[in-house]
Structure 1
Amino acid sequence: MNRMMGFSEQSAKQERQYEQVFSKHVSNDSIAEYSRHLASRPSRVGTYGNEVALHYSLEELQKAGLDAYIESYDVYMSVPKHISVKQTEPEERDLDVIEDVAPGTPFSDEIVPGYNAYSPSGTVEGELVYANYGRPEDFEELERKGISVKGKIVITRYGKTYRGIKPKQAAKHGAIGMLIYSDPIDDGYVQGKVYPDGPWRPEDSIQRGSIVQLAEYPGDPLTPGEPSKEGVQRLDPDEAESLPTIPTTPLSYGQARHLLNALEGEKAPESWQGGLPFHYNLGPGDTKVRLSLDIDYERRGVNNVIAQIPGSTYPEQKVVVGAHRDAWVYGAEDNISGWVTAMEMARVLGELYQKGWQPERSIIIAGWDGE
């Protein structure tokens, strides 16, 4: 048997015994039940569905015999009121900004339109330019070709870099707005069967997500380096370096195809071509788009659920296992799958703890809110 690093021969034997006991207690049925319950309703941060999921998680962790509690913060966040994307030239077309939801889907009225959290509110209209993945090198390539995005709206595909980099680069080069879509060559039908027949993204699916500038600093944009609690000094939003500056919103590839297919100008490089059934051009030209984003900003509660198992020898040393527990919509994959895995770990460790097992260092299981 291979030597277990960090353990003496005797303690390694005991460790393997505990691991075997732990593995035997892990239950697929338990994980499935957690998942069915938590993914049955949207649990976006700051909503009632999120609160329901929070208290279910807390009760289940307490049922496991663990010291579980809620840790709350007061966070500046964006709340979308109305999202509109319209092609205005060479023809008029209102683009769908939410998925085709099957009739009878529970809590479908709680599904939020596709949006990018922390996008500025506002209405902008302009010619369209395609900028591949929206990386610095992509904008440099447009410049080499003599194509300016100044005063224009840029459309890029998701992938290759964090989504928040894309509008930052677009704004740096003078763009007034941005659309980000999921291309089927990256995670759609080019890869295989799409949902519900397979795991890949269907044509109406929209990737929601934050575009806050995490490279500047993580967390609440108004409390850099500090917990977002009462009494903490907050920046004015105009001073927050992590907030994006141009209206930005996501699209499905089923809707983006109308814009990309209408683009004129030079043919995009071969490496910029995607999976839609036509040649991608760079623009600009007659294709124009209007983004109209009505997004409020307000402080809302963010609630983490925390469970602890105290350490026997080094309680001040902590091993933290965590996953974000909120979801943009129903979240069965992102990130209910991660959180229910952590909950099952907590349930089994709780059983062992009740029977006399105790770790030498404290173990923290954390369900983060407000991803």
Structure 2
Amino acid sequence: MKKQRSESHSHTYTKSKNSMVKISIVSFLAIGIATSLSLVLSSSPPKSYYHSLYKSNSISDNASISHDLYMLTRRPHVAGTEANAQAAAYVLSTLASYSINSHIVSYDVSLTYPISRSLVLTQPEQASEQLPVVFDLRQEIYDGDPYADAAREVLPSFHAYAKSGTVRGAVVYANYGRVEDFKRLKEMGVNVTESIVLARYGKIYRGDIVNNAFEAGAIGAIVYTDKKDYGGGGDEGWFPEAKWMPPSGVQVGSVYDGAGDPSTPGWPSIQGCERLSDDEVEKQGNVPLIPSLPVSAADGETIMRSVGGQVADAGWQGSKDGPTYRLGPGPGILNLTYTKQFRIFVVVGNHRDPWTFGAVDPNSGTAALLEVARRLMKLEKRGWKPRRTIVLCNWDAEEYGLIGSTEWVEDNRQLLASRAVAYLNVDCAVSGPGFHASATPQLDRLLLKTTRQVDDPENSSQSIYESWVAAPSNSPTVSMHELQMQLSSLELLLAVGEILW
């Protein structure tokens, strides 16, 4: 009984102590609130006081703005790049230093970047003695520019969300690419069908220029920066001596006529969400249906000099030191190629389930897959980024009938159909001497090219390809230790990745 009473007394004391603490806190808050109310009622400064304080240098100065601007602009930082992620981290850390509760929310969106671009100007056969003009499509970097090294990181000039494709057609000049400009061309008897339109920036959105060209029957569009509008009209200098855009300057930007990720209209682009295919995105009507490229004033004038036909109206002419603008079509012919990069998948996988221990089938492949993952992460920590999204898969219930992989594909059918370009499988990385591989016809050349890049671990003086084709059975002639064979398969997988990614 004494023991029970003692425990009860202790328990009661604890409760009483906690209650006292709570009461004291509440009392403290009540006093604080009362004090605050008293201050507000008696001596609250007028709003004008805070307005003047906010604008004064007593709480801050413009030096902080200069520092922030420098930190944010040290490198080019296009959306979705590592440099822009670093800029986001800087903004986050700066806000946190002000005790502002901040965080980053990430979305898995579809952004496009240029893989390849080319623009070649040719003349008709009767002027075949003139060599084709191959445009460099690069902006000039100036000697002595302190940002010259960083400027080399700038993406090649392109239109975001432009359609991939290769087109060839006579040049038609369409002024600013407005609806009324194409109407005027029709009135002048200029046929735009199957042509490549040359239009200039300055009056409407670049995406509308490309779309208007498509509606008029064009198969491609080149949008250039005219000196008349952006170069001081030819009367003044340009950067770095003056404010005007230099002749090599290019206006880049998007031709997407919408808001938000075009593949997820109306819902958030979270990882694994449903997405529209490329064809479905095009049917939405917000992305162009013909290829386009932005070019500089210098390149635009070069193209303009190849255009014949009627002289354009006075309001369609350029700067006074430029060529006479004509309507075409031709005789100059443009060959335009543009290839964009969406968020493309390369899938690498094998299964994990055996019937017994699975040292060969499948876990020699699983071990190789894990090593691929390990090496990729080490590369990423050193600044490497893949050109494609790499998906590493380790399947279950393969032996029962490809169960795990099939269910995953069924669950992600639409995403894989629109984004995946290759699947590399490595169930058995080790299965005795020799090298064996097979592929669908689309990857035959890739497999042959890759084996030429991987040394034979038993004979480093030659490649796996050389050993493979020299063998009577079309396999390497030397017997390889299991560890060496596993390494060979691993190196092959990595080499394939380097080519695809």
TM-score for the superposition, normalised by structure 1: 0.73
Aligned partner of 1:146 among 189, 192, 199: 189
The residue correspondences of 1:226-241 to structure 2 (distance < 5 A) are 226-230=267-271, 232-240=273-281, 241=284
Query: Aligned pair 1:76/2:119, yes or no?
Result: no
CA contact (8 A) 2:141 2:151 kept: yes
Q: For 1:214-252, what per-residue CA distance to the aligned partner results, in whole angstroms no more than 9, with x for missing partners? A: 3xxx11111112222235432122112212110001000
Q: Which residue of 2 aligns with 1:260?
A: 304
Aligned partner of 1:102 among 136, 139, 142: 142
Residue 192 of structure 1 deviates from its aligned partner by 4.2
Aligned partner of 1:176 among 207, 219, 228: 219
Q: For 1:319-349, what per-residue CA distance to the aligned partner results, in whole angstroms no more than 9, with x for missing partners? A: xxxxxxxxxxxxxxxxxxxxxxxxxxxxxxx
Instruction: Measure, in 1, the Cα distance between the counterparts of 2:77 and 2:198.
Output: 29
CA contact (8 A) 1:261 1:278 kept: yes
The residue correspondences of 1:180-219 to structure 2 (distance < 5 A) are 180-190=223-233, 192-214=236-258, 218-219=259-260
Q: Which residue of 1 aligns with 2:85?
A: 51
1:67 counterpart SS class? coil
The residue correspondences of 1:1-371 to structure 2 (distance < 5 A) are 14-24=46-56, 25-89=59-123, 91=130, 92-102=132-142, 105-190=148-233, 192-214=236-258, 218-230=259-271, 232-240=273-281, 241=284, 242-275=286-319, 276-298=321-343
- The runs of 4+ residues in structure 1 deviating greater than 3 Å are none
1:69 counterpart SS class? coil
Greater gyration radius: 2
Residue 127 of structure 1 deviates from its aligned partner by 0.4
Residue 297 of structure 1 deviates from its aligned partner by 1.2
CA contact (8 A) 2:301 2:322 kept: no
Give the counterpart letter for 2:336 in structure 1.
Answer: L
Greater percentage in helix: 2
Residue 18 of structure 1 deviates from its aligned partner by 1.2
Q: For 1:154-177, what per-residue CA distance to the aligned partner results, in whole angstroms no more than 9, with x for missing partners? A: 010011111100111111111110
Q: For 1:23-61, what per-residue CA distance to the aligned partner results, in whole angstroms no more than 9, with x for missing partners? A: 114522111111112111010112111111111111111
Instruction: Measure, in 1, the Cα distance between the counterparts of 2:194 and 2:71.
Output: 47
Give the counterpart letter for 1:93 in structure 2.
Answer: V
Identity of aligned residues (%): 34
Q: For 1:135-156, what per-residue CA distance to the aligned partner results, in whole angstroms no more than 9, with x for missing partners? A: 1111111011111111110010
User: Alpha carbons of 1:299 and 1:285: their partners in 2 closer, same or farther (altered >3 Å)?
Assistant: closer
2:334 counterpart SS class? strand
2:105 counterpart SS class? strand
Residue 291 of structure 1 deviates from its aligned partner by 0.8
Instruction: Measure, in 1, the Cα distance between the counterparts of 2:184 and 2:52.
Output: 55
1:229 counterpart SS class? coil
1:295 counterpart SS class? strand
CA contact (8 A) 1:82 1:294 kept: yes
Q: For 1:190-235, what per-residue CA distance to the aligned partner results, in whole angstroms no more than 9, with x for missing partners? A: 2744211222111111100000123xxx111111122222354321
CA contact (8 A) 1:120 1:247 kept: yes
Instruction: Measure, in 2, the Cα distance between the counterparts of 1:36 and 1:292.
Output: 37
Greater percentage in strand: 1
2:342 counterpart SS class? strand
CA contact (8 A) 1:122 1:294 kept: yes
Q: Which moved more, 1:172-181 or 1:86-95?
A: 86-95
Alpha-carbon RMSD: 2.2
User: Alpha carbons of 1:207 and 1:26: their partners in 2 closer, same or farther (altered >3 Å)?
Assistant: farther
Instruction: Measure, in 2, the Cα distance between the counterparts of 1:220 and 1:185.
Output: 35
CA contact (8 A) 1:189 1:202 kept: no
Instruction: Measure, in 2, the Cα distance between the counterparts of 1:45 and 1:234.
Output: 20
User: Alpha carbons of 1:143 and 1:208: their partners in 2 closer, same or farther (altered >3 Å)?
Assistant: same
1:291 counterpart SS class? strand
Residue 113 of structure 1 deviates from its aligned partner by 1.0
Instruction: Measure, in 2, the Cα distance between the counterparts of 1:33 and 1:192.
Output: 32
CA contact (8 A) 1:74 1:299 kept: no
1:71 counterpart SS class? coil
